[in-house]
Copies of this chain bind each other. A is one copy, B any other.
Amino acid sequence: MRFEAATIKDIARSLGFSPSTVSRALRNCNDISETTKQLVLDYANKINYTPNPIAVSLKAKRSRSIGVIVHEIASSFFSQIINGIESVARENGYNIIITQSLGSYENEMSITRMLASRSIDGCLISVAPETADLCHFTNLQERGLPIVFFDRIVEDLPGHKVLIDNKLGGYKGAHHLLKNQCRRIAFIGDSPLQYITAMRLEGYKKALEEHHMAPDESLIKFCPHDGADYYEVEAAMQELFDGDHKPDAIFTSTDKLTIAAMRCCRDMKLNIPGTVALAGFSNMENTDLFCPSLTVIRQPAIQMGRVSARLLIKSIESKRPVADYERQLLPVELRIGESSKARVTVLPSDVLPLR
């Protein structure tokens, strides 16, 4: 049972005008007399008239709503992003339709289909790690739907892209550990096929190079399930700490891996930072209360959401199809905690010979 809202017709009938006059008065057209305008406005105000957005949408062929696809709503990083998106959307009179792919290609497909049929005006997407085939996105784009990719982007698709300086993130993390006397820094990332992982790894390697060290492939591990599968991380850690030549530091390239690695160290009784230093990407709050407090690479997630939303709305509202696509690189921040602290003495055996 729903209350029937007042319509333009109702106002017209009550005031003895035609619907079109009322419509014009309400939208402040300048070919209407001041008196009529006031009359209509006052009455509309009095009866608390609000236009029916559905009817407006049908007429205007746009819905003022934008779709958002993230992996998981309940993650620090993505919820911060959504926060940013929501605020910009609302400032601009858009609402957002939030969906989560939970990292699955299947879900992403069905969500995309759902969104496509929902007459959204545009879409903000962080691509699921599983996704290889991109035609569900191409479909959308062929229909003329503007898409902005953020965070986990795909290189081969047109569209604005908003991401952090992933390479810089990897560099900053590794550089910091190197500065703290670490010489055998393990890198744990999710799938190397992920653009962001590849870039973070590049940054890591660049830092090593600057210190005249060659990357040791046995120290580079990938956990394609991104810490969702704890055993995968456990296995990687065990391989790392199995031989004689153990790492003296770990750098993790995603939020989940950072937490998983920390948990693993605890389970394996590896003292942080005494036995092994730890630094990694994380957007969790309060990691300074961890034991030990975490050294993290933090992404400006809210800003990423805001920037993405702004770009999307700009595309939506531009008259002509957007010709060249922007690529926004946002900075990353290194937050230093105890977990990456330099050990007091540096034994010679800890130093990797320069090659």
Task: Report which A residues bind B (CB closer than 8 A).
Answer: 1-3, 5, 50-55, 57-58, 61-63, 65, 72-76, 78-80, 82-83, 86-87, 90, 95-100, 111, 114, 116-119, 142-145, 259, 262-263, 266, 284-286, 289-293, 302, 319-321
Bound Cα distance A292, B293 (Å): 11
Q: How far is the CA of A5 from the CA of B113 in the complex (A)?
A: 14
- Copies of the chain in the assembly: 2
- Shortest CB–CB separation between residue A97 and chain B, in angstroms? 5
User: Which of B3, B54, B96 interacts with A144 by CB under 8 Å?
Assistant: B3
What separation, in Å, do the CA atoms of A285 and B79 have in the docked complex?
A: 14
| Bound form: Cα–Cα A50–B285 in Å | 42
Minimum C-beta distance from A85 to chain B (A): 9
Q: Closest B residue to A100 by CB, please name it.
A: B86
| B-side contacts of A82, CB under 8 Å | 73-74, 79, 98
The residues of B that contact A79 with a CB separation of less than 8 Å are 73-75, 78-79, 82
The answer on a CB contact under 8 Å between A58 and B55 is: yes
Q: In the complex, what residues of B have CB within 8 A of residue A111's CB? A: 90
Pick the residue among B61, B144, B284 that contacts A286 (CB under 8 A): B284
CA gap between A177 and B234 in the complex, in Å: 34
Q: Identify the 8 closest CB pairs spanning chains A and B, nearest first.
A: A291-B291, A79-B79, A3-B144, A50-B117, A3-B143, A74-B83, A74-B79, A2-B144
User: In chain B, what residue has the closest Cβ to A110?
Assistant: B90
Are B290 and A119 in contact (CB-based, < 8 A)? no
User: Cβ of B63 and Cβ of A72 under 8 Å apart?
Assistant: no
A51 CA to B119 CA in the complex, in Å?
Answer: 10
| B residues near A262, Cβ cutoff 8 Å | 289
A78 CA to B90 CA in the complex, in Å? 19
> Which listed residue, B83, B144, B293, touches A72 by the CB 8 Å rule?
B83
CB distance from A125 to the nearest CB of B (A): 16
Known pairs A2-B62, A74-B79; list 4 more (Cβ under 8 Å): A2-B145, A52-B119, A55-B58, A87-B100
**For residue A290, which residues in chain B have a CB less than 8 angstroms away from its CB?**
286, 289-291
Residues from chain B with a CB closer than 8 A to the CB of A142 are: 3
> What CA separation (Å) do A2 and B145 show in the bound complex?
7
* Residues of chain B contacted by A292 (CB below 8 angstroms): 291
A116 to B95 Cα, complex, angstroms: 13
With A74-B82, A83-B72, A286-B259 in contact, is A51–B3 under 8 Å at CB?
no
> Which residue among A2, A118, A293, A320 has the maximum number of chain B CB atoms within 10 Å of its CB?
A2
CA–CA, A145 and B259, complex, Å: 43
Shortest Cβ distance from residue A58 to the other chain B in the assembled complex, whole angstroms: 5
A61 touches B321 (CB 8 A): no
A86, B61: Cβ atoms closer than 8 Å = no
CA distance A57 to B50 in the complex (A): 17
Alpha-carbon distance between A109 and B320 when the two chains are bound, in angstroms: 36
A100: chain B residues within 8 A (beta carbon): 83, 86-87
**Are the C-beta atoms of A53 and B291 separated by less than 8 Å?**
no
How distant is A159 from chain B, measured CB to nearest CB, in Å?
14
A52 to B63: give the CA distance in the assembly, Å: 11
Which of B54, B75, B319 meets A63, CB within 8 Å?
Answer: B54
